[in-house]
A and B are shown apart, each in its own frame.
Chain A
């Protein structure tokens, strides 16, 4: 097991390197640049700017300089667009915000999604099931760019209970709406996966054995059904967690939360190479990390998996 984890971590290094080189290449292949403005910039100034950011170097040299800074100094360089900010600062500013509302939304989605799925499956084809499936489908087809303005309309403009945007770490009322808007569709997916996987496990032979042993229903569900039923949910949760904590452009836009979801999209639109690269690497590293974590959890749940 330990050797497996070490091996996976070693494989993660070339994976990340490939990710960096590939996104770097793709970005440079796209026409335009960070200094392509509406107004014509004199070629001398453009040359100066490009020299300042090292864009006059050959492509391969640029890649190596970038990699060297990232690997040796953990420095993602300055932003190409915001002259006084470095990428490290932008991430240090925005990521804790997305991490906060993303992690809370994740916890909410997992807890209520699993609960809803379990309730539906254990009351299969009864009103609780239909109710839960109805909610899940409703939540799934409601995109967050529709849900977010509705929330603002109801809770800010009509009821006046919650602020329509902004971010304060110590004030939960700023967190509530971003969490609801982000969690809803994931909650629905988790509920659906949990329900169908529970229904399958409920018919498994080992569950019949557990019933034949005369164990009470809740004990059968908790110790014999839930664990195997959550395996498919678990494989969904790894990438979902990364998606949620790296934020959503919709949430950041509607609630002005200032997370990195919006930064990434703006960086892409403005050709802010360094910011894009920084956030891409962050997402890549998190994805690799959490997939590894999920695999370890899998081995812990299913004794037949040995790496």
Chain B
């Protein structure tokens, strides 16, 4: 049985402008110690999927479908029920660590409260374990710096604190929501290496949410590409890079800046993502797709599983593509 299985997850938001369908029919599984990357641009629904799994949607958000963790249904369960799984079963690392950490509390208090609440540790034990965890994410002088406030750390260190906090209860699954987006390029690699390392050591599963295919390559097993709230392609990471099967994936791969070729022109996918307030009948990518045929305008392609060169993968496209 998969550690986490998501089936036909839909997320919609009731706004004053109408209903926004942020996620449509999302299904996937994460197995023990597997890393799944969810890739998509802003507004593709990747963060909202994560929030729906954790029960953290905004109050106007509405999720339907099924999310099962170790066989337990999580979707639309009361907070008390979810709290037994949050932090201890599934933990989350957020995008902007400075905003995600409480600016009014010392790091020590923010970390120890997790251990005190979930494991009933004494304040002393909780503090010792928190310091040990900060050491593990390589924060120098953790013993003293745990007394500081979040803004007294650098961006990279803040994200390390965030990671340490998520790992405190040794969760089986870590959801990392754009963990490096707010960071300098040089720090990005350090944080990704750290995440990969602690994941391996603790034998955790991970969902890595990112808009950066470059990050995906080195750190994940399977990649799922999201566009306008639905999955357009899903494949093992090497397969996806070698032979992308969806026009959007091809566009994304072409837009990665390559310094090893003579051609310096940076490719950009023309157009912008569709407005999620308007539900159109065809493929959401059709307006920006260079392969589009008549059928793409009228019929939204379903996600089809197929095997190619002994690899199981899936894509949602009407057109045969030879890449």
Contact = CB atoms under 8 A, between A and B. Distances in A.
A214 B114 contact: yes
Contact of B100 (A124, A209, A223, A303): A209
Q: Which range contains the number of A residues in contact with the other chain?
A: 20 to 34
B128 interface: no
B218 interface: no
B230 interface: no
A164 to B, nearest CB: 47
B94 A209 contact: yes
A214 B82 contact: yes
A173 interface: no
Contacts of B254: none
A211 B113 CA distance: 12
Contact of A224 (B54, B79, B102, B149): B102
B100 A213 contact: no
Given A212-B54, A213-B165, A214-B83, A219 B117 contact: yes
B117 to A, nearest CB: 6
B59 A214 contact: no
Chain A interface mostly: helix
Interface stretch (A34-42, A200-208, A248-256): A200-208
Nearest to B83: A214
How many of chain B's residues touch chain A, expressed as a range? 20 to 34
Contacts of A228: 103-104
Contacts of A206: 99-103
Nearest to A207: B102
Interface in A202-254: 203-206, 208-217, 219, 223-224, 227-228
Interface in B42-101: 51, 54, 56, 58-59, 79-80, 82-88, 91-92, 94, 96, 99-101
A164 B162 CA distance: 61
A205 B99 contact: yes
A301 B104 contact: yes
B136 interface: no
B101 A213 contact: no
A213 B79 contact: no
Given A215-B113, A219-B113, A208 B86 contact: no
Contacts of A210: 102
Contacts of A203: 58
A182 B96 CA distance: 45
A205 B94 contact: yes
A209 B87 contact: no
A227 B56 contact: no
A302 interface: yes
A209 B102 contact: yes
A304 interface: yes
Interface in B14-38: none
A86 to B, nearest CB: 48
A26 to B, nearest CB: 43
Interface in A253-307: 301-304
B87 A212 contact: yes
Interface of B: 51, 54, 56, 58-59, 79-80, 82-88, 91-92, 94, 96, 99-105, 109, 113-114, 117-118, 149, 151, 162, 165
26 contacts: A204-B99, A205-B94, A206-B99, A206-B102, A206-B103, A208-B100, A209-B100, A209-B102, A209-B162, A211-B86, A212-B56, A212-B86, A212-B92, A213-B87, A213-B91, A213-B114, A214-B85, A214-B87, A214-B114, A215-B83, A215-B113, A216-B117, A223-B105, A224-B105, A301-B104, A304-B151
